[in-house]
Amino acid sequence: MNMASKFFWALALILFGIAGRLLPHMPNATPITAIILAAGRHLGRTWSLVIPLIAMLASDAVIGFYNWRIMIGVYGSFALIGFISWFGRKNKGATPIVVMILVAPLIFFLITNFSVWLFSPWYEKSIAGLLYCYTLGIPFLRNMLIGDFIYTSLLVGGPAIARVAFGARHLPFFSGVSTKSASP
């Protein structure tokens, strides 16, 4: 894929990420994890960190910034998800994607709820307060799992289906998607 195509798809993913955070949605059901996985798989490892960061910063500029220490937890959790996704990049099968769909929300949940507990005045600074914070975060974890499954299916699974249906030569963004045939 040439550089112009990469920039086009990078911009498309950034705009999709911004829209996914600004348009009405279930809390925490955004396309950021799916963008990390799609960018890493189709555009390269660096893009899996840069694209979500730009989408997050641009949408946070509209939504409003919040406690910088909690923001570090949020942005850091997505960066960690990006780094972890690099390990599954070589294997084009569905297994690394499914693992990431399950692991990414847990990483986000553990880091961001700990940050909220530690840096906000909302919870008692005790083990009971931390457990209460995690308990109240469970609906957000569920929503992120749902959102990650839907958006990743769209951004990673959709290209695989399109490549099989239409062929990679007509779909440059999808050229990195595996289409291993069952026939010998």
Q: Please name the CATH architecture into which domain 3-158 falls.
A: Orthogonal Bundle (1.10)
Mean pLDDT in residue range 139-160: 90
* Average pLDDT across the chain, whole number: 86
Q: How many residues does the chain have?
A: 184
**pLDDT band at 168; cut points 50, 70, 90:** low
Residues ≥6 apart with Cβ < 8 Å to 29: 143, 144, 146, 147, 150
174 pLDDT above the threshold of 50: no
pLDDT tens digit sequence for 8-19: 999 999 999 999
Residue 180 pLDDT > 50: no
- How far out from the chain centre does Cα 14 lie? 12
What is the pLDDT averaged over residues 124-136?
A: 97
Q: Is the pLDDT of residue 70 over 80?
A: yes
Q: Report how far residue 38's alpha carbon sits from residue 46's, in angstroms, rounded to the nearest whole number.
A: 12
Higher pLDDT, 48 or 96: 48
**Res 183 pLDDT > 90:** no
Task: Please spell the DSSP secondary structure of 30-82, one letter per residue.
Answer: -SHHHHHHHHHHHT-HHHHHHHHHHHHHHHHHHH----HHHHHHHHHHHHHHH
- Delimit the domains of the chain by residue range: 3-158
**Per-residue pLDDT at 179 exceeds 50:** no
User: Using the 8-state DSSP alphabet, how is residue 28 labeled?
Assistant: T
